[in-house]
Structure 1
Amino acid sequence: MTFRQFAFNNVVRNKKLYAAYFLSSMFTVMVFFTFSIFAFHPALSGSEMNQSVAQGMNISAGIIYVFSFFFILYSMSSFLQSRKKEFGLLMMQGMSMRQIRSMVFLENMIIGFFATIGGISLGLIFAKGILLLAENVLILDSELHFYLPIQAVGLTFVSFIVLFFFISLFVSYILRSKKLIDLMKGDKKSKGEPKANLFLTLTAIVLLGGGYAVALLVEGMAVLAVMLPVIIVVTIGTYLLFTQLSVYIIRRMKAKESFFWHKTNMILLSDLSFRMKDNARTFFMVAMVSTVAFSAIGTLFGFQTFLTAGTKENNPNTFTYYAYDNEEQADVALVNETLQKENIKANSEQMVLRYYEIGQDSILIAKQSDFNRFAELIGEEKVEVVAGEARVVEFDGVPYGHTKELIGQTIELKSSEELKANDVIYSKALPATDSYFIVADQHFEDLPDTTYETSYHAWQVIEGKEKVLEISEKLYEELEFKISAVEYEVYQINKAFGAIMFVGLFIGVVFFVSAGSFLYFRLYMDLDEDKQKFKSISKMGLTTKELKKVLNRQTVILFFAPIIVALIHGAVALTALSNMFYYDLFKESAIVLSVFLGIQIIYFFIVRYFYGKQVREAV
């Protein structure tokens, strides 16, 4: 057997340990390859919008590549830790440290080569489906047909072979100073039971509590001002949570004898206490990586929802038109003819928006009959204004109006009579971005001279809504900024966010899969130790049922401790985003966090099955 065959057989024999590393690396290669397919796609070299999408894909591929380097480096370091004893035995058989480094280099290159080939192959298999999905999500101007991505294949293969080469060199290099005695003892060196520092434990509570409180209490643009300090504080608090607070809680639980001696708690807590020091850093890394994934995707999803919902909220009419020149009659005729030609039925209204100098501002004042016509157009109730009074209208959905300033304000008429506004109503009838007045019809003609006025038209489609987007594009080409169509504006928002959402989703999934892989590596690093431990305990009377119970609890803690922390971090971050926009993002936050939690639960059941099976077979 040659040395290369020996290295290859090592990989094959350790396939259970290398499985998650190989699959995660292959998935990362596939994602990078997918972005490369888009970046080199002929259809994305046309319009400026498509070119920006291609550029975004290139940037995303770069982010994935950089993250892949650190992910694979961490993974290999984890494997080296679990194979110390194996290396020691090989040295006893006469293998030099140089040969061990060469073996590790070859093993990693073998895995890297097949992971790269596998990732590219999977990317090619699913390329057509991904292109179809992206075509709908990205809302591009052209069709993303399937093509043979020679450039993408070449770039992906070379990039990841180079990446695995340098990581293999680095990993083999760090083995150079290991001594035989250290390798033979491996993880048998007693690390001692970790002890928690009370001051650092309290610091963790204060930092997390303070960070959460600030993030949840501030509103508006103040959220941006406190964002960086909160991130720093919560990050430090999270590290102390796993290194200090968790250890303190475990020691307190062990100190309570009634709990510690209850059934199998002693086995669970004793083992968890000794391993917490090693797991703490992995927990911290998983929690922060998962938080980034939750927050990034939740923010993108929430911001898109905020914009689309806000657009619909502030534009209750299907079409609105403002007359900025002398072509009003021709423009309105064009809109009506287009609707009629497409067999679209719509109700319409027209009025002149008149603004008057009230105090230091120019304020819209509408007469009751005009307001009621537009209110009826969008299905709102009519209002009545008592003679001698005025009513303040706040546009429903705009929290920045000057309503308080207008309440009690006096409107002077030409006849020297004064109208006073005493109450407020909320409406979307007129397109005001600020609060305004309604007066009775008999007072309207008695108002002073206007400071500004413009003609305003609105259409509300009642039949043929499925054709609105199509004709909106035509009308925008003809009338440009003079007409507004809510469906078209929402379409443009989704089009702009499509690429960002697509990229963010892929990057978030890569981060999350990597976080799950970190947990898998941490669990399997201690597999041999767990086999020996439970085998010894079973001889003392541990039943199969109790063994299964301990394994389940241990795996649950390992998998869900960092994920629960990440979910809390993500929920706080998305709540802060809601406070910044003054918009409830609970639904969007719940969807994002639930999806990721569901993925982690599925991952947990898969790993628990194979991990538990191996331990039970050893026992």
Structure 2
Amino acid sequence: MTFRQFAFNNVLRNKRLYMAYFLSSLFTVMVFFTFAIFAFHPAFLEGEINNNVLLGMGIAGGIIYLFSFFFILYSMSSFLQSRKKEFGLLMMLGASSKQIRLMVFLENIIIGFFSTVSGILAGLVFAKAILLVAENVLIIDESLNFYFPTVAIVVTFLSFILLFFCISIFVSFILRTNKLVDLIKGDKQSKGEPKASVLLSILAALLLIGGYGTALYVKGATVVFAMIPVIIVVTLGTYLLFTQLSVYVIRLLKKNKSVFWRKTNMLLFSDLSFRMKDNARTFFMVAIISTVAFSAIGSLYGFQSYLTKEMKQINAFTITYNPYLKDSEAVVQEDINEINSILQGESIDAKMEAMELNYFTTTEQSETVLIVKASDYNRFAALIEEKELHPDDKEAIIVEQSGAIISSGPKASEKLMKLRIPLEGDQEIVPNQVVETKVLTSMNGYYVVNDKNFKQLSSPVRSDHSVVWQAEKGQTDQVIEAGRKFDLEKNLQHKTFAIDYSIYEINKAFGPMLFIGLFIGIVFFVSAGSFLYFRLFTDLDEEKRKFRSIAKIGLTETELNKVVNRQVALLFFAPIVVALIHGAVALTALSRMFHYNLTVESSLVLGSFALIQVIYFLIVRFFYVKQVKRMVF
């Protein structure tokens, strides 16, 4: 058997340990290859998407490629740490340090080659499905037909072969074989009782509480200025949480006899402090990586939801036309005819209403307000099935924009309630109630008075027009096409607003960012789960010996399941729970910055990742328990 055959067989015989490494590398290659398929798709060679989406794709591909380097490097260090005893046995049989380094180099090249080829093949299998999903998520007009991505295959293959080659050389050079006695003993050497500083434990709690408190306290633009300090404080607090505070809490629980001596808790806590200390860096890295994934995707999704919901709240009508002040009656009528012509050409069934908007001075001569007569208001309200208003004589109803979430200052009604509207004969109208509706888009609010009082007002200081159309339901696609024509028509470009078309444009702009962010987030999250898998199976042999010894003195299979399930659950969910809390606080701070409730969006993003982690935990736990039972019973 040649040395190359020996290295190849060594990979096959350690498939349990290498499987997570292989699958994670395969997934990373597949994601990168998917981005390459998009980047070199014929439909993207021309048009604006070439500048927008491809730039994001290129940046995302670079991030994934860079992250892949550190991920694979970490994976290799975990493998090498768990193979100390194997290296010791090889050295006893006459292997030199140079040969061990060569073996590690060849093993990594073999895994890298097959994971790269498998990732490309997997990408080809799912390419059509991914292109179909992307076509809808990205909201593009071009059809992303399947093609054989020769350039994408070459770029991906060469990129990852180079990556694995560089990592293999790097690992083989930094590999330390240590003394033979240390290698043979491997993980049997005593680690000593883990120690935790009381002061550092208290500091960890204070840093996290202070960071959370600051993030939840600040509002508006202050969130931006507090972001960097909060991130630094929470990151440091997270590191101390896993290295100090968790160990200190476990030591306190071990001293509590009612807890420590209860059923199988002794087995759980006996080496839990060792595992927490050993896995502290892994937990910290997983928590931070997962937090970045949660926050990035949650922020993109939340901001998109914020913009679209805000537009829907303040624009209730399908189409709104607001001419320029300088436009004459002839220009306004010409524009209205053009809009009706476009609607007719798109076969859109819509009702139209027009209103003259008159602005008057109040008793405070410096204040100019919009006053609408009730009959005009009720015509507009009927289009969107809003409640009609019927103010009494010398009564003004203040109307505020329903659902206006952009403004963070005082409400318009607070100012309007203090003003008085003069009438003929030294009389005045007094506002006495406030309602919120979507009838007119006016962030400054306005008054609604009855028709009789409206005639008694003085001459308006200026007048404007507002014309609206409300289309029947089920015509969204036609309205979007009409909105595109309004946008291209110079006479209508900045005077006509179609809500469905505007939301379509927002989704089109955010689609690529969400798609890219989702892919990067999934890569980060899968990698974080792989880190936990590596740490769990690195200690598997030691766990087998420990439980086999305990089984000899009466440990039942039920008790074994209970102890192992708790240990695996703590390993998997300790960093994820911390990351979920970090993400929830970060998204809450984002909602306070925009004064918009992101509870639904945050719950959807965080809940989805939590569900994925639970599924991953159940799969890994099944195989881990199976491995332990095979050795013990």
Q: Name the TM-score, length of structure 2 as normaliser.
A: 0.94
Secondary structure in structure 2 of the residue aligned to 1:615: helix
Aligned to 1:166: 166
Out of 486, 496, 502, the residue aligned to residue 475 of structure 1 is 486
The 2-side partners of 1:344 and 1:140 are apart by 23
Out of 465, 472, 476, the residue aligned to residue 462 of structure 1 is 472
**Contact persistence 1:346–1:463 (CA under 8 A):** no
1:365 aligns with 2:375: no
The 1-side partners of 2:196 and 2:427 are apart by 78
1:604 aligns with 2:617: yes
Aligned to 2:30: 30
The 1-side partners of 2:474 and 2:99 are apart by 75
Query: What does 1:252-291 align with in structure 2 at a 5 Å threshold?
Result: 252-291=252-291
Secondary structure in structure 2 of the residue aligned to 1:141: coil
The 1-side partners of 2:281 and 2:51 are apart by 41
The 1-side partners of 2:162 and 2:468 are apart by 61
Moved more, 21-30 or 205-214: 205-214
The 1-side partners of 2:385 and 2:269 are apart by 64
**Contact persistence 2:412–2:443 (CA under 8 A):** no
> How far is the alpha carbon of 1:4 from its aligned partner?
0.7
Aligned to 2:431: 421
Deviations 1:325-354 (A, max 9, x none): 342212212333443454433222111122
Matched-pair identity in %: 60
The 2-side partners of 1:68 and 1:357 are apart by 66
Deviations 1:472-512 (A, max 9, x none): 32333332222111111111111111111110110000000
**Contact persistence 1:50–1:141 (CA under 8 A):** no
Aligned to 2:339: 335
Query: What does 1:388-403 align with in structure 2 at a 5 Å threshold?
Result: 388-399=394-405, 400=407, 401-403=411-413
Query: What does 1:522-561 align with in structure 2 at a 5 Å threshold?
Result: 522-561=535-574
1:434 aligns with 2:440: no
Query: Unpaired runs of 5+ in structure 1?
Result: none
Moved more, 515-524 or 546-555: 546-555
The 2-side partners of 1:616 and 1:402 are apart by 69
Secondary structure in structure 2 of the residue aligned to 1:100: helix
Query: Unpaired runs of 5+ in structure 2?
Result: none
**Contact persistence 1:214–1:230 (CA under 8 A):** yes
The 2-side partners of 1:241 and 1:273 are apart by 13
Aligned to 1:19: 19
The 1-side partners of 2:423 and 2:230 are apart by 54
The 2-side partners of 1:313 and 1:56 are apart by 30
The 1-side partners of 2:163 and 2:367 are apart by 63
Secondary structure in structure 1 of the residue aligned to 2:153: helix
Moved more, 592-601 or 189-198: 189-198
Kindly provide the amino acid, as one letter, of the partner of residue 514 in structure 2: M
Aligned to 1:577: 590
Moved more, 76-85 or 48-57: 48-57
Moved more, 441-450 or 229-238: 441-450
**Contact persistence 1:319–1:460 (CA under 8 A):** yes
Aligned to 2:349: 345
Aligned to 2:203: 203
- Return closer, same or farther for 1:486/1:547 CA change in 2, 3 Å cut-off: same
Query: What does 1:81-160 align with in structure 2 at a 5 Å threshold?
Result: 81-160=81-160
Secondary structure in structure 2 of the residue aligned to 1:480: coil
Kindly provide the amino acid, as one letter, of the partner of residue 355 in structure 1: Y
> How far is the alpha carbon of 1:464 from its aligned partner?
5.1
Secondary structure in structure 1 of the residue aligned to 2:271: helix
The 2-side partners of 1:127 and 1:546 are apart by 46
The 1-side partners of 2:479 and 2:566 are apart by 56
Deviations 1:373-428 (A, max 9, x none): 21222111111223223232211112534321221212334644333323322121
The 2-side partners of 1:331 and 1:364 are apart by 24
Aligned to 1:387: 393
Aligned to 1:322: 322
Query: What does 1:170-181 align with in structure 2 at a 5 Å threshold?
Result: 170-176=170-176, 178-181=178-181
1:231 aligns with 2:231: yes
The 1-side partners of 2:200 and 2:370 are apart by 60
> How far is the alpha carbon of 1:361 from its aligned partner?
4.5
The 2-side partners of 1:361 and 1:495 are apart by 41
When the two chains are superposed, the root-mean-square deviation of aligned CA atoms in Å is: 1.7
Moved more, 341-350 or 255-264: 341-350
Moved more, 279-288 or 504-513: 279-288
**Contact persistence 1:39–1:55 (CA under 8 A):** no
Secondary structure in structure 2 of the residue aligned to 1:51: helix
Out of 600, 608, 633, the residue aligned to residue 587 of structure 1 is 600
Aligned to 1:75: 75
The 1-side partners of 2:12 and 2:249 are apart by 41
Deviations 1:133-166 (A, max 9, x none): 1111111121111122121111111111111111
> How far is the alpha carbon of 1:463 from its aligned partner?
5.3
Q: How many residues end up aligned between the 2 structures?
A: 619
The 1-side partners of 2:23 and 2:96 are apart by 31
Query: What does 1:502-541 align with in structure 2 at a 5 Å threshold?
Result: 502-541=515-554
1:356 aligns with 2:367: no
Deviations 1:41-90 (A, max 9, x none): 11112112343111211110000001111111111011111011111111
Aligned to 2:187: 187
Q: Name the TM-score, length of structure 1 as normaliser.
A: 0.97
Secondary structure in structure 1 of the residue aligned to 2:465: strand
Moved more, 138-147 or 349-358: 349-358
Aligned to 1:499: 512
Aligned to 1:484: 497
1:214 aligns with 2:214: yes
Secondary structure in structure 1 of the residue aligned to 2:352: strand
Moved more, 441-450 or 105-114: 441-450
The 2-side partners of 1:42 and 1:73 are apart by 35
> How far is the alpha carbon of 1:107 from its aligned partner?
0.7
**Contact persistence 2:177–2:183 (CA under 8 A):** no
